[in-house]
Amino acid sequence: MAEVLRGLLTVNEFAQVTGWAESTIRQKVWLRQIEFVRMGRSIRFKPETAERLIEEGTVLPLAKND
């Protein structure tokens, strides 16, 4: 179980990875807009969740017409 815990991110760590404020993350958790892991009263996030959010928000450049 300790190996699983090492792979999970705290709210602070998730905020650093995504660039969101902790309050924004807590609000999205409250509204159940993002995936999270509840361990008792603690909230943790899988690193894949942050990666997925970043990928979903990535805007590709427009193709250059010659």
Contacts by residues 43-52 (CB-CB < 8 Å, ≥ 24 positions apart): 43/10, 43/11, 44/5, 44/8, 44/9, 44/10, 45/8, 45/9, 45/10, 45/11, 45/13, 45/14, 46/7, 46/8, 46/9, 47/7, 47/8, 47/9, 47/17, 49/14, 50/9, 50/14, 50/17, 50/18
Query: Tell me, what's the pLDDT at 66?
Result: 62
Mean pLDDT of 39-43: 94
What's the total number of domains in the chain?
1
Computed over every residue of the chain, the mean pLDDT equals 90
Answer yes or no: is 38 within a domain. yes
Q: Which domain holds residue 40?
A: 2-52
User: Does residue 37 fall inside a structural domain?
Assistant: yes
Do the domain assignments include residue 59?
Answer: no
Give the pLDDT confidence score for residue 32 in this predicted structure.
97
For residue 50, what pLDDT band results from cuts at 50, 70 and 90?
Answer: very high
pLDDT of residue 1: 44
pTM over 0.75: yes
